[in-house]
Each structure stands twice: as C-alpha cells, then as structure tokens.
Structure 1
Amino acid sequence: MSLMRDRLDDVLRAGEAGGLHAVVALRGGRCLLEYYRAGEDFAWGDSLGVVEFGPETLHDIRSVTKSVTALLYGIALGDGLVPAPAEPLLPRFPRYPDLAADPQRARLTVEHALTMSLGLEWREDLPYHSPANAEIAMELASDRHRYVLERPILEPPGNRWTYCGGATALLGRLIADGTGQSLPEYAQAALFGPLGIDRFAWMTGADGVASAASGLRLAPRDLARVGELVLGGGAWNARRIVPAAWIRTMLQPRLPTGWGAQYGYQWYLESIGGHRLVAGMGNGGQRLFVLPELDLTVALTAGNYDDPDQWRAPLTVLEQVILPAMA
C-alpha cells in the first residue's frame, strides 16, 4: 500500500489527477489503497464549498447511479416484480394512452431502455446546469416519464446507443411500480442493507421522485463494495444478492458507444492494459472500475464536474498508480 500511496502522491504533485477527492482500491476483498483529500464539491448544482473528505463522507456518484439502478432491476426481475427485457415498454405506462397508440413508440421494449437505444431525441452534451440539457429538463418536468417517452422519434429503437438519463428514469419507475416502494426504499431493503451499507442519500427532482439516473450519494468505501458485489457475480460474503444470471446478462456487450467502449445494461465494457474492464461512470470523474481478471475493484470520486477532461484523473490513477502494482 505504501508504494501505491507514493505513486499517487507523485501523480498528484505533477498535477496529473487534479480534482481527485478519494480512491478506494480492493483486491480479493483486501484494501490496497485508500486515500482522501480536501476539495471543492457539489451536490448536483448546489455548492458544498471545500469538503474535507474521509471514509464516512458521502459523495455524488452522478451517473454511476445508473449502474446501481441496473443492479436493482436485476434483483426485482429475479423476484418477478418487473418486466423482462424483451417485454414492451409502453404498456407499463398506462396513463399515456396517446403515446401507446403511436405504432412507432409501441415498438419500444425494456431492453431499449436498458441499452439506451430508445431512438428518441435526447441531448446531454450540454452543461448540466442548463435546462437545455435533456436530463436537467427531465428533472424539472412535472412528469419526468412522460417527458422522456414523448421525445421526438429520430430512428427505430435498438439501432444505436445514445447517452440518455431518461432511459434510466424509466427503469426506476418500473422498479418502483413493481416493488411498491420508492427507489431508495427498495435499494435499502434489497441491495444496500444486504451489503452492510447504512448511509446513503438519493436526490430527487422537482416532482419528488428519486433520480435513477444521477441522484445517488455514497461513501467511496461503499461504492467499492458495490463493485465487489459485481466482481462476485452478484454474491457478497457468501450471500446471494443479485441473480448470477442477471450479472452475466447485464455485462454482455450490446452496442458500441461513441468512443470505442461497448455498452451492456447500464454498464460500460472495455479493456485496459489487456484486461477486461467493467465500469460505471459519472460526471466529474466518478468511477467504479471492476477488473475481473485481476480480482480488482476501484472506486474513485472527484470534483471535475462538466470539465471536458474529467476522465483524466480517474484514468491516470488507474493506469499509473494501481495497475502497475498488479504485476
């Protein structure tokens, strides 16, 4: 651990991982590196000022929330509470009969939401403080689910991956409807409680609905524990939490992203240093990396929100600090 800490200190002194707040790296359940530092932070758009981060400090994980939502979907599916991926989507939203009557929208399935391939107009390439950003507009809408489902149709569903927090919002609604619980309530009962995670926050939009796309706040240790669950094929401490079949299905590559990675069900799939990499990624440099061949989980948090180079800090720590110690 001391060698990795020295390498991390060198990287930070060189300015190659600016904005980094915390790193937790586990191998085979054993802590390899745990690091915290002070930094300016936000909860969504609200400034928290300079925060002295530590093991118990909650942090936005932004869109890594999507990957957690996929785990919750798999748990609910295993209990028969939500529709299978191949099932049509709009019958699960009966209060929108006008949308269901559209034959093009009627082609939408749950899998199209899981893979972000709805074929609807959706722009999240604008700053997340702007209401022109589709996710922010969704959070401000009086009915987030209608907002998503009535977006203009651009192409047939299933053709192409397009980053879409609205797709995850639909999954969150299916979970809430199927379980009879809010997303945070179900997460506590079905995932966080069994993992021994007793502190989290889940932010809501203007409608009071927890954001399945980006609202979760976790301590980095607990985020790493989620990664350990994925690494264990859905089991943790010899307890089955997520069906193993769902983990396998969730992590199958389905569609290419715009930068070369593949996308499964709300998780990114690529390789690094010749090793398979499974990742949840969030704005600002939030990352959950799982490398099955190395029995390695890495959780990173950072404050580089909306920065075009936000990817740099977590990738630098992984490539220059953690992976060299795996030799």
Structure 2
Amino acid sequence: MRLSFAALALSAPLLFAALPSYAAPSDMAVAAPAAEGMSDAKLQAMSAAIKAGQFQQITSVLIARHGKQVFEAYYDGDVQTRRNTRSTTKTVTAMLAGAAIAQGALPGVDAPISRYVKDRTPVANPDPRKEKVTVEDLLTMSSIAECDDDNQYSRGNEERMYLIEDWVGFYRDLPVRGFTAWAPRPEASPYGRAFSYCTAGVTTLGAVIQGAVGQPLPAFADKVLFGPLGIDKPEWQFSPLGLAQGGGGLGLTSRDLLKLGQLYANGGQWNGKQVLPASFVKAATSPHANARQDTDYGYLIWLQTFAGHKAWAMSGTGGNKVIIVPDLDLVAVITTTNFNVRQPHAISEKLLTEHILTAVEK
C-alpha cells in the first residue's frame, strides 16, 4: 500500500522482553521466553542487532509462543503507536469476508461480486465475464481484470487508482486481461488460478462486504473482529468517496497485529470464543494460487517456507509482517519504515530466520 504515509518520529528504543504477567498491560498472557522454549539470550542479541542498524529501520518486534507473548520491543514509537500496516490490511479484509460468510450475509466465497456493487456497473470495457467474478477471485488475487501492481504499465496498477475518486469503479472498468506464455491461463496454472497482485480488487472486496452486511466496513470490523479481540480505535484510510480502504494502510498497534496473527494460529478462536469459523481459517491458509516460485497464496495471505517451516504471512510494503508458524506454534510481528530500502521483505525475512526462529530451542 503506497497511499500517504506520515513518517514516525525517532525515539529511544523501548524494550519489553520477557515481562512478568503482572507487568503487562496487554490482554495476552505473558511468559518468559524460556518458559515457552525460546532463548532469551538470542532474543536480546537480536534486539542488539536491530539497535545497531543491521536491519535498517525496524520499528517493533513482538513474538508469541504457545499463545503467550514472550517478547516485545520498540525501536521507534511505543506500545500505543499505530503502525501503517500497508498491505497487511488485506488479510484483515479476508477475515471480514469470512465473518460475513459466517453471518450469512455472503452466501459463500463463490458469490458473484456484481450483486453487491450494483451501483458500479462497468462503464468502460464491458464484458459479460465481469459479471461472473466471485468473492474468491478477489480473495486469491486471480480475477480476470488486467490489474498488476508489480507492473507499472498495467491499467490496473494501484497508483492509477489513487488518481480518481471512485476506486471501485476503477476496478470494475478495467479490461479483461490477456494470457500469454509468461502469464498462463488459469487452467494451466497451479491450483487453476492465474495470480496477479491487485490492490484495486481487494479495495472492491471491501465494498462487496460492506454492501453484503449493510453497514460501513469499519463498523462491521469493530463488531465482528476488532471488538472481540479488544482492538481499539483502528485508523482506516478512505477513498475520496468515503470507502474504507480494505487494500492497505490500516493503522493498528503492534499488539493489535499480534492478536490478529494469534487469531489465525488459534484456528479463529480468541479467549475461548470462535470469532471466525475454523473452516474459513483452514480454507484461508490453504493454497489457492501460485504467486511465485516457492510461494503460494491463500485468501489474501502469503504461504511461504522459512528455514524448513511452513508459514502464513500477512505482508505489507517495507517488510511489515505478521508471520504465523503453525508447527512451532509461533507468531511474530515485525514492523518497519523500510519503505525506501532495497529488498525490505528480504530484510524482515532474514530477521525472522536468523534470529527469531533460531531462538526456538524446544
């Protein structure tokens, strides 16, 4: 997500590592790293490396193991700082789609989106195939629209969307993409879907959810997701027409992000309550499209492997990440301001593999 971003003021690092439970204002249980099979010495070495600038501008790292927070450190801002999560917001939008399905507002992921955005009938490039685009097409970044944020010349590139008022209309007006030898047709692609990263499609999915549930996306999110998790005052970005941006830029604290990751790690449960259906979480974290070599894509979440461990990753520009590693029962949050740094995702992934995962001892 590249929409307007205000730089955070630098401050001295604030470190909370292995806090005793009585000292933690968070509503997650807190434990010493060793109690949950992690090395405090290695985590402190990681923190020293971050403060030395070895990973550029890391702003916070939080880690949970076995559902308990074992590490929390801030290198810019503090506990209350809301991070511009960039495209990690997309996974939140997927969660809201799951909640809408659970309520029956959406009949399922195979629901055509056209019935929920009737006021935005395609004006340009009409094509009957557009009426068959489904919620799942948007969840998996595999709709037929010519939309590719990784291609600056794409008609649907995210930056072009911000130039006009109606972001949903922008998506609905896109031409149907062609398929070539280097962009194979869906039937020739793994899982039968041709992946193309498209923020405009996720923005439109937010409007679809809003139309299905009959209330603004932020209000629905507060009711079904943020409220149950104790996430307070999320800061949404909005289109010129007032649509909450489901495609990026949602302001959440680092602890909020940890809760969202833990929700998926718990199969949709939080404090004994089933916030999202376990069946949806399973579907969301299963491969539906192949994004690139060695990387699949679920429902607006990346499916990767780090140091031999399969992981689910909420991911945003600058290397902002919420990473769930199921076989280790571990959730890690890495926030950054590495927006103008080369290969920022590789930087965050190096921090994960060389420090966080190696700190797991049992």
The correspondence for 1:105, drawn from 124, 130, 142, is 130
Mapped pair 1:243 → 2:274: no
Contact conserved, 2:113 with 2:208, CA < 8 A, in 1? Answer: no
Q: Cα offset for 1:259?
A: 4.1
Change (3 A) 1:23 1:117: same
Q: Tell me if the contact between 1:24 and 1:300 (Cα under 8 Å) persists in the aligned partners.
A: yes
Which of 139, 142, 148 is matched with 1:114 structurally? 139
SS at match of 2:347: helix
| Equivalent in the alignment of 1:46 | none
Pick which of 262-271 and 9-18 moved more: 9-18
| Structure-1 residue corresponding to 2:58 | 20
Tell me, yes or no, if structure 1 residue 31 matches structure 2 residue 69: yes
After superposition, residues 57-206 of structure 1 pair within 5 angstroms as 57-97=81-121, 102-125=127-150, 134-155=157-178, 159-206=193-240
Q: d(CA) in 2 for partners of 1:97 and 1:219? A: 37
Q: 1:296 aligns with which of 330, 338, 343?
A: 330
Is residue 350 of structure 2 the alignment partner of residue 313 of structure 1? no
**Residue-by-residue CA offset, 1:299-318 (whole Å, 9 max, x unaligned):** 11100115331113321221
Contact 1:16 1:316 in 2 (8 A): no
Q: Which aligned pairs between 1:270-281 and structure 2 lie closer than 5 A?
A: 270-281=304-315
Confirm or deny: 8 A CA contact 2:111 2:134 kept in the other structure.
yes
Q: Give the counterpart of 2:263 among 229, 246, 253.
A: 229
More displaced, 229-238 or 198-207? Answer: 198-207
Choose from 229, 246, 263 the match for 2:297.
Answer: 263
The alpha carbon displacement at 1:172 in A equals 0.4
One-letter amino acid of the structure 2 residue matched with residue 30 of structure 1: K
Once the two structures are overlaid, the 10-residue window that deviates more, 299-308 or 248-257, is 299-308
1:198-247 CA distances to partner (integer Å, 9 max, x unpaired)? Answer: 13211112222111000211110110011110000000110110011110
Structure 1's consecutive aligned runs of 4 or more residues displaced over 6 angstroms after TM superposition are: 130-133
Following TM superposition, by how much is the alpha carbon of 1:105 offset from its aligned partner in structure 2, in angstroms?
1.8
SS of 1:202's equivalent in the other structure is: coil
Q: 1:150-197: per-residue Cα shift (whole Å, max 9, x none)?
A: 112113676410110112112101111122221111111111110011
The change in CA–CA distance for 1:131 and 1:101 in structure 2 (over 3 A counts) is closer
Q: Which runs of 5+ in 2 are unaligned?
A: 1-32, 34-39, 179-184, 187-191
Amino-acid identity (%): 31
Q: Residues 231 and 292 of structure 1 are in contact (CA less than 8 Å); yes or no, is this contact kept in structure 2?
A: yes
Within 2, Cα distance between the matches of 1:306 and 1:241?
37
Q: Which amino acid aligns with 2:141?
A: M
Corresponding residue SS for 1:284? helix
1:89–1:55 CA distance, 2 compared to 1 (3 A): same
| 1:16/1:62 CA distance change after superposition, 3 Å | same
Counterpart of 2:70, as a letter, is L
Check 1:98–1:229 CA distance in 2 against 1; reply closer, same or farther (3 A cut).
closer
> Could you tell me whether the CA contact under 8 Å between 1:120 and 1:154 is conserved in 2?
yes
Secondary structure in 1 matching 2:119: coil
Compared CA separation, residues 102 and 132, structure 1 to 2 (3 A): closer
SS at match of 1:181: coil
Residue 4 in structure 1 maps to residue 4 in structure 2: no
Shift of 1:92: 2.7
- 1 CA distance for matches of 2:92 and 2:120? 27
Amino acid at match of 2:159: I
Q: Secondary structure at the match of 1:104?
A: helix
